[in-house]
Amino acid sequence: MEERIDLKKFLAIIRKRFLLIFLTAAVMLSLTVLMTVYIMKPTYEAKEFILVGKLQKSDGEYIDSQNINRLLASSIDFIKSPIVLNTVAEKYSLADEDKLEEKIIVQNSKDSQIINIIVRDSDAEFAKDLAGFTAQTSVQKMNEIFKVNDFKVMRNGETHASTISNPILNIAIGLFVGLFTGIALAMIREYFDDTVKSAEEIEELTGLPVIGQVNLKAKMTRSKSARKQKQLRKTEIPARGDASV
């Protein structure tokens, strides 16, 4: 029963503060649209793939699957090591290697011999170039250091960039945030509002029944109409006197 009463109160507050909730949601939605269209830049994602095949050492011996798994794990760490990042940073004149490392994501699925290099940036061309050059540099240095010759870039020179930002999703999130913010503001305003606006609130606060109530608005309306009628009668009497003369 109490939960039902609380739900009624909540809906009553929503109905009472509907204008505040609507204006808050409209403002947040407008700000989100402006930021999405004019401020926030789209994010592009470029992928490059390195294939670790049935590796063969320089002396002609093949490496077994267990060693391949170890080599895969080592390769994932090696791609984001300073050995590779320093070369990439020098190529593109990037001073901050930490930001460069944030742009590069290295993935490898379970039981897969393919290493995915993912680069995300607001510039599509830069993302493609960075992914391709990172893959080529990694393969070259791994072949030199690991003494193997079967690391291969799968899409050499054919890297593509696709956008991963979703403006519609951003606008929807802005709308929901605006609604929740408006509801929160309505609840806060209702919590700090100590005015009593109905007989039901008086009964709820005091626990006593209301015997009667005076409608001040109706009384004020009647008094205003009475004063207007008196003024009209006063203005009509001189007019009639002038007509008789």
Distance of CA 171 to the CA centre of its chain: 8
Average pLDDT score over residue span 87-95: 86
Q: Which two tokens stand for residue 39?
A: 């401020």
Q: Which region, left, alpha or beta, applies to residue 111 given φ > 0 means left and ψ of -120 to 50 means alpha? A: left
Q: Helix, strand or coil for residue 207?
A: coil
Checking if the pLDDT of 27 tops 90, the result is yes
Note whether 165 and 42 are within 8 A (CB). Answer: yes
Most confident of 16-30, 47-61, 144-158, 228-242: 16-30
Checking if the pLDDT of 66 tops 80, the result is no
pLDDT of 143? 85
Q: Helix, strand or coil for residue 39?
A: helix
Checking if the pLDDT of 219 tops 60, the result is no
pLDDT level of residue 244 (50, 70, 90 thresholds): very low
pLDDT level of residue 72 (50, 70, 90 thresholds): confident
Q: Which two tokens stand for residue 76?
A: 């994932």
Note whether 136 and 159 are within 8 A (CB). Answer: no
Note whether 168 and 64 are within 8 A (CB). Answer: no
Average pLDDT score over residue span 215-226: 59
Q: What is the pLDDT of residues 162-175, one digit of tens each?
A: 788 778 888 899 99
Neighbouring C-alpha atoms within 13 Å toward the C-beta of 20:
16
Checking if the pLDDT of 111 tops 90, the result is no
Buried b (16+ CB within 10 A) or exposed e, 84-123: bbeebbeeeeeeeeeebeebbebebeeeebebbbebbbee
Checking if the pLDDT of 56 tops 60, the result is no
Give this prediction's pTM.
Answer: 0.59
Q: Select from 5, 63, 32, 71 the least CA-distant residue to 175.
A: 32
- 84-88, 89-93, 238-242: lowest mean pLDDT where? 238-242
Where is pLDDT greater, at 110 or 43? 43
Q: What is the pLDDT of residues 160-213, one digit of tens each?
A: 777 887 788 888 999 999 999 999 999 998 888 777 666 676 666 676 776 766
Average pLDDT score over residue span 65-88: 83
pLDDT level of residue 9 (50, 70, 90 thresholds): confident
Where is pLDDT greater, at 238 or 96? 96
Average pLDDT, the chain: 78
Checking if the pLDDT of 113 tops 50, the result is yes
Q: Select from 104, 152, 109 the least CA-distant residue to 129.
A: 104
Note whether 17 and 189 are within 8 A (CB). Answer: yes
In whole angstroms, how large is the CA radius of gyration of the chain?
Answer: 37
Number of Cβ atoms within 10 Å of the Cβ of 71:
20
Where is pLDDT greater, at 159 or 30? 30
pLDDT of 134? 92
Extended beta strands in 62-113, E state:
104-107
Where is pLDDT greater, at 123 or 67? 123
